[in-house]
Amino acid sequence: MTIPEDSTLLRIFVGESARHEHLPLYEAIVLKAREAGLAGATVLRGVMGFGSHSVMHTAKILRLSEDLPMVIEIVDSAEKIESFLPVLQTIVGEGLVTLEPVRVIQKKAI
C-alpha cells in the first residue's frame, strides 16, 4: 500500500469503556478503517487523562483503572482520510477527532 509523502494524520480520542454495538469503540474504528482500505491504524492506551467532563482517568496503582483514554491514529492520503470521516461520525458519540498534515519519510511495512 502506498502512502503519499504529504499525508494526513487522523487522531481519535475516546474512552476505553466506549462501545459501538458489541465491540469496544476503538476496536470498531480499527475494523472500519481496515474495511475502508486505509493504510493502517494504531491504538494507544493512555495512562492518565481527562476530557470535556473534567473527570480524571488514571492507571495509578492505588486507584482502579477504569475508562482510560484511548487514542487511535491513522495516517493516509488526505482524500482517503476525508472519505473515512462520515464513517466516524456514525460510530463516535463522544470523543475528539483531529486532523493534521504529516510528512511521511519512511514507508516500510511493519
Domains belonging to the chain, first-starting first, are 6-103 (3.30.70.120)
Q: Please list the rounded mean pLDDT of every run of 10 residues in the chain (110 residues).
A: 90 94 96 96 85 63 69 97 97 94 83
Task: Name the pTM for this structure.
Answer: 0.85
- Angle at 91 (CA atoms; ends 76, 41), nearest 5 degrees: 30
**pLDDT at residue 47, as a whole number:** 76
Closest CA to 85 of 1, 8, 4: 8
